[in-house]
C-alpha cells in the first residue's frame, strides 16, 4: 500500500512538473519555456486604458494583423495593458463582465496564431492610475485593494492553464502612500491570491515609483516590495534622460531636450543635492521696468566636493507683481576675472523649468513678451523665496575656478522690498556619483544602477517600458540611436524588454489611438532599428503571404547544435547563418546545424522555406 502511495505521489509530481514546464518559468536569473531559455522582447499595447469610454471594448486599439506585424518584426512578446473597468464596474464590484473575458480570449487566440507571449499588466487598478500621483485611492481605501486582489485571483483562475500568457504584471508604477511597506503588503496579498488557484504563471512586479508624490524617495531596498515568491521576474522602466525622451511633448513640459548622443550635454546624478549658491548678484528694482541686462559677480569654487552648477532664476515676495527672465551668458573666469571660456550663451526659447517656493506660493510660467523675441520665463504670486531652475543648463565646476552669469530681466508692479536676480546654484552627490555626458556609457550606467537590486537577488530583469517620444526622431535628434543603444545594452546583459508603445501619438511606433493602424504613420527610423536588431531587415514583410506557422529555433542561447522547427507542411530550402558584421558563416539545408565552431556572440539565421524568407536571432554561448 505504501509503495502505491509513493508511486502515485511521484506520478503526480512528475505530471505537475511537466505541466509547469509548458509555461514560461523563472529559473535563477533566466526564463525558460518548454525546457529552452527564452528572452521576452516586444512592444506594449496601450489598449485605450486611459479612455474610460473604451474600457469595456478596447478592440479599437488593434486586431489580429497587429500581432502579425510584431511577429514579422521578430518580436515575441506584448505587454498587454489592462484597465480594471474592462472587467468590473465600480457600482457592481466583484461581478466580472463577460465581454472583458471575451476580449482577453480573443487576444490569446491571436497571440497563439503568431507565437506572441502576452504579459498581462494591470495598468490602471481600482483606485486610479498610479504614475502621475493620481491613484491615492488604491492606498487609502482598503475596498479598492480587496477588489484588486480578487480581480487578479479571478484572472489567474480563468487562465491558469493558458501557457500563451507569460506572466502577471501586478500593478504599473505603484505610488503607495504612508509607507513603502504598503506596496509590499498589497503585492504579497495579490500573489497569495493568485497562488491559491494558479501555480503555473510567472509573477512580474516592480519597485514603487514614488512614496505618495515624493518621486525622490528611495529606501534601503530601492523601493522593491519584500515579497515571498520564487517564480518571479522584476520589471524596470527606462526613460533616461527624461528631458530627452519626453522632449517637445506638450504634457511633459520639457521643451526641446537636445540630441543623443551629445558629449557636451551634462547629465546630473539622481542624488544631486543642493550645497550653496551665488546670491550676491544685482536685483531688479521695484515698480515697472523694461528689459535690462544685469551683470553678476564672480563666484569662486573653494572646495572640491562640488559637482556641478545650474542656472537659477531667484525671486522673493513678488506677490501681485510679475518678474520676467530671459537671455543669459555664463562664463568661466580666471583669477583676475578675465573670461576663460563661455559655458552657455543662451537665447531662451523653450526648455524645462523646475519651480520651488519656500511656502508653496506663487507660480512660474512663460510669456510671449521676451527680450528681442516672444519668449521669457516668469514668476508671480510668491510671498516668500522662490526659484526656477533650468536643468538643461547644468555645467561642470572645479575647485579654484570662478563663474559669473549675466542676464536680462524686466518687471511689472514689483513691490517695494521684493527682489529678483539671475544666479547659479551648486550641487554635490552624497554617493559621490560623477557627472555623465549624454552617451552610451551614461545609458549603461543608468541601466545597471536600476538593476543592481534585482541582480543581487538573483532574479531575471525585464525592462517592461522603455521608449523615446516621436519628437526624438525628428531633425536628427537621435531617438533611433538611443533605442538601438538601449537594446544593445539589454541584449548584452540578457535582459527582457518591451518598447512603449505600439500605437499612440506621444511614443507610438504607429501614430493614432482609437482607430486601426495607418501604416503610413509608422516611425520608419524606429522600424529600421527593430529590423536591424531582430534580424528581420531582409525578411519578406508581405502581410498577405502565408505565415510560417510554428517556425522556431532552439535552444537559444545555443551551445553546439541549433535545431529548426518548421511547423507542418513546410520544407527547408536553405538556412544561412550571418554574424553581427553581416558575414555569412554557415549555409546548410539541414534542420540541425552544428554551430560549435562559432565564436560566442549574437548571430542571425535566415530560414528559406518555399517562397518566404524569415530571419531570426540567436546567441552562441
The pLDDT tens digits for 594-609 are 999 998 877 878 888 7
pTM of the model: 0.77
Model pLDDT, residue 541: 34
The architecture CATH gives domain 24-247+439-534: Alpha-Beta Barrel (3.20)
Q: Average pLDDT, stretch 392-398?
A: 92
**Domain-by-domain residue ranges, the chain?**
24-247+439-534, 269-428, 552-620
Q: In terms of residues, how long is the chain? A: 621
Name the strand (E) or helix (H) holding 237.
strand 232-238
Question: Using 50, 70 and 90 to split pLDDT, how confident is the model at 12?
Answer: very low
The pLDDT tens digits for 490-521 are 998 999 999 999 999 999 999 998 889 999 99
For residue 289, pLDDT over 90 is answered with yes
Model pLDDT, residue 20: 56
The pLDDT tens digits for 292-339 are 999 999 999 999 999 999 999 999 999 999 999 999 999 999 999 999
Model pLDDT, residue 322: 98
The pLDDT tens digits for 430-439 are 988 889 899 9
Distance CA 298, CA 304 (A): 18
Model pLDDT, residue 4: 44
Model pLDDT, residue 346: 95
Model pLDDT, residue 91: 96
DSSP code, position 211 = B
Rg of the chain's alpha carbons, rounded to an integer?
A: 28
Model pLDDT, residue 571: 82
For residue 614, pLDDT over 80 is answered with no
Q: Average pLDDT, stretch 90-117?
A: 97
Decide which of 614 and 587 is more confident.
587
Q: Average pLDDT, stretch 575-594?
A: 81
The pLDDT tens digits for 399-414 are 999 999 999 999 999 9
8 Å CB contact between 202 and 168: yes
Distance CA 566, CA 275 (A): 63
**SS3 string of 360-418?**
CCCEEEEECCCCCCCCEEEEECCCCEEEEEEEEEEEECCCCCEEEEEEEEEEEEECCCC
Number of separate helices (H) and strands (E) present in the chain: 11, 32
Model pLDDT, residue 16: 39
Model pLDDT, residue 583: 63
C-alpha cell at 344: 552657455
- Residues with Cβ < 8 Å from 501, sequence gap 6 or more? 43, 44, 45, 46, 467, 507, 508, 509
Classify 552-620 by CATH class.
mainly beta
For residue 24, pLDDT over 70 is answered with yes
Model pLDDT, residue 264: 84
Task: Output the average pLDDT for the chain.
Answer: 90
Model pLDDT, residue 550: 60
How far, rounded to the nearest angstrom, does the alpha carbon of residue 102 sit from its chain's CA centroid?
A: 30
Q: Among positive and negative, which fits the CA dihedral 43, 77, 205, 123? A: positive
Q: Average pLDDT, stretch 527-535?
A: 89
How many CB atoms sit inside 10 A of residue 394's CB? 22
CB-neighbour burial class of residue 601 (10 A; exposed 0-12, middle 13-18, buried 19+): exposed
Decide which of 471 and 431 is more confident.
471
Amino acid at each position: 500500500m505504501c509503495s502505491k502511495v509513493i508511486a502515485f505521489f511521484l506520478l503526480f509530481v512528475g505530471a505537475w512538473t511537466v505541466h509547469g514546464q509548458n509555461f514560461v518559468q523563472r529559473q535563477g536569473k533566466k526564463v525558460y519555456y518548454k525546457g529552452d531559455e527564452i528572452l521576452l522582447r516586444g512592444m506594449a499595447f496601450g489598449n485605450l486604458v486611459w479612455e474610460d469610454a473604451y474600457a469595456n471594448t478596447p478592440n479599437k486599439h488593434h486586431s489580429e494583423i497587429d500581432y502579425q506585424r510584431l511577429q514579422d518584426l521578430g518580436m515575441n512578446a506584448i505587454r498587454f495593458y489592462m484597465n480594471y473597468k474592462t472587467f468590473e464596474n465600480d457600482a457592481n464590484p466583484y461581478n466580472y463582465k463577460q465581454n472583458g473575458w471575451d476580449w482577453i480570449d480573443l487576444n490569446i487566440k491571436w497571440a497563439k496564431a503568431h507565437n506572441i507571449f502576452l504579459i498581462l499588466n494591470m495598468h490602471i487598478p481600482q483606485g486610479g492610475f498610479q504614475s502621475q500621483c493620481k491613484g491615492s485611492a488604491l492606498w487609502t481605501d482598503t475596498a479598492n485593494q480587496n477588489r484588486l486582489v480578487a480581480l487578479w485571483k479571478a484572472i489567474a483562475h480563468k487562465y491558469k492553464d493558458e501557457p500563451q500568457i507569460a506572466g502577471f504584471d501586478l500593478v504599473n508604477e505603484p505610488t503607495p502612500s504612508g509607507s513603502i511597506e504598503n506596496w509590499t503588503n498589497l503585492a504579497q496579498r495579490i500573489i497569495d491570491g493568485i497562488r491559491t488557484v494558479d501555480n503555473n504563471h510567472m509573477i512580474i512586479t516592480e519597485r514603487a515609483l514614488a512614496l505618495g508624490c515624493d518621486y525622490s524617495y528611495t529606501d534601503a531596498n530601492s523601493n522593491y516590495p519584500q515579497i515571498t515568491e520564487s517564480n518571479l521576474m522584476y520589471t524596470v522602466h527606462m526613460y533616461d534622460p527624461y528631458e530627452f525622451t519626453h522632449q517637445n511633448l506638450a504634457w511633459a513640459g520639457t521643451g526641446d531636450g537636445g540630441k543623443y548622443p551629445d558629449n557636451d550635454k551634462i547629465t546630473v546624478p539622481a542624488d544631486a543635492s543642493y550645497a550653496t549658491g551665488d546670491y550676491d548678484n544685482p536685483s531688479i528694482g521695484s515698480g515697472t521696468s523694461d528689459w535690462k541686462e544685469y551683470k553678476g559677480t564672480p563666484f569662486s569654487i573653494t572646495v572640491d566636493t562640488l559637482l556641478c552648477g545650474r542656472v537659477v532664476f531667484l525671486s522673493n515676495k513678488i506677490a501681485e507683481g510679475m518678474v520676467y527672465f530671459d537671455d543669459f551668458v555664463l562664463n568661466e573666469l580666471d583669477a583676475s576675472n578675465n573670461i576663460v571660456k563661455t559655458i552657455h550663451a543662451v537665447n531662451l526659447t523653450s526648455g524645462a523649468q523646475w519651480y520651488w517656493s519656500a511656502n508653496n506660493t506663487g507660480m512660474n510660467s512663460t510669456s510671449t513678451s521676451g527680450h528681442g523675441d516672444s519668449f521669457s520665463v516668469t514668476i508671480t504670486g510668491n510671498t516668500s523665496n522662490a526659484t526656477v531652475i533650468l536643468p538643461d543648463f547644468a555645467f561642470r565646476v572645479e575647485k579654484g575656478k570662478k563663474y559669473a552669469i549675466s542676464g536680462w530681466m524686466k518687471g511689472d508692479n514689483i513691490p517695494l522690498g521684493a527682489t529678483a536676480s539671475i544666479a547659479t546654484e551648486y550641487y554635490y552627490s552624497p554617493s559621490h556619483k560623477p557627472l555623465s555626458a549624454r552617451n552610451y556609457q551614461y545609458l549603461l550606467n543608468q541601466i545597471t544602477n536600476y538593476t543592481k537590486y534585482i541582480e543581487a537577488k538573483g532574479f531575471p530583469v525585464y525592462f517592461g517600458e522603455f521608449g523615446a517620444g516621436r519628437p526624438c526622431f525628428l531633425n536628427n535628434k537621435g531617438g533611433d540611436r538611443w533605442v538601438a543603444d538601449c537594446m544593445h545594452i539589454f541584449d548584452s546583459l540578457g535582459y527582457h524588454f518591451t518598447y512603449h508603445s505600439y500605437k499612440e501619438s506621444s511614443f507610438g511606433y504607429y501614430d493614432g489611438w482609437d482607430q486601426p493602424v495607418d501604416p503610413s504613420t509608422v516611425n520608419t527610423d524606429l522600424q529600421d532599428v527593430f529590423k536591424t536588431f531582430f534580424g528581420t531587415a531582409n525578411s519578406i514583410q508581405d502581410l498577405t503571404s502565408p505565415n510560417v506557422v510554428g517556425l522556431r529555433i532552439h535552444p537559444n542561447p545555443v551551445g553546439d547544435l541549433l535545431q529548426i522547427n518548421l511547423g507542418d507542411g513546410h520544407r527547408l530550402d536553405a538556412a544561412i547563418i550571418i554574424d553581427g558584421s553581416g558575414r555569412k558563416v554557415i549555409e546548410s539545408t539541414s534542420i540541425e546545424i552544428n554551430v560549435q565552431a562559432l565564436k560566442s556572440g549574437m548571430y542571425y539565421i535566415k530560414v528559406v522555406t518555399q517562397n518566404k524568407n524569415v530571419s531570426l536571432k540567436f546567441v552562441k554561448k
